[in-house]
Amino acid sequence: MFPLKAMPSTELALNWELAGVVVIFFAGTALHFVFEWSGYWRPIAWLAAVNESTWEHFKLAFWPGVTWAFVEYFAIGNAVHNFWIGKCLGLLCMPLIIAAIFYSYTTALGRHYLWVDISSFLLAIIIGQLISFEFISAAKLSAHAQWLGVIGIGVMMLVFVLFTYIPPHIFLFEHVPTHEYGILTHY
């Protein structure tokens, strides 16, 4: 009946990236509790937070972000440029921002505040999605850049799974309340 006005790819991409902020935030928030809700079922540990370490909180942005990227690819991947490198860099920035904010303010104040942690999680998602938008709406990069993005996302996926089950014993992976590492059956 009414002809649909074609949306320019830049506006379309921005809408998808902003929708991703909402989806990633709420999905990530739910993932914080999924392992406990599952009865501490080890096969789901790669996806959900298994303790209160900083590393496990990175997963809360990463896995919903990857899932959203695949949904987004099928919706707008052919309408934009540099999709995979943009997604890779956006996903890479999210945990870096979370860590930078968390360790900066907890070092300065000597403790953490839940409202700051939640705000930094949201801010990291927003910035990550905007970084992605900048790349996917920019001039086309080489095919090598796209492949670097695909490989980068694949490496991040592998590292998140591997370090869930075999965490390095460094501060980033420590469940501070009990000084334990890895999958906990309580927390």
pLDDT digits (tens, 9 = 90+) for 121-179: 999 999 999 999 999 988 888 889 999 999 999 999 999 999 999 999 999 999 888 88
Sign of CA dihedral 161, 102, 14, 145: negative
Question: Does residue 34 have a pLDDT over 50?
Answer: yes
What is the total residue count of the chain? 187
What is the predicted pLDDT for the residue at 186? 67
Q: With bands split at pLDDT 50, 70 and 90, how would you rate the model's confidence at 21?
A: very high
pLDDT at residue number 187: 58
Distance of alpha carbon 159 from alpha carbon 50, whole angstroms: 15
Return the sign of the alpha-carbon dihedral for residues 167, 154, 90, 41. Answer: negative
Of residues 187 and 171, more confidence is placed in 171
- Is pTM beyond 0.95? Reply is no
Q: What is the pLDDT of the chain when averaged over all its residues? A: 91
CA dihedral of 106, 45, 181, 175, whole degrees rounded to 10: 30
Share of the chain above pLDDT 70, in %: 95
What's the pLDDT score for residue 185? Answer: 77
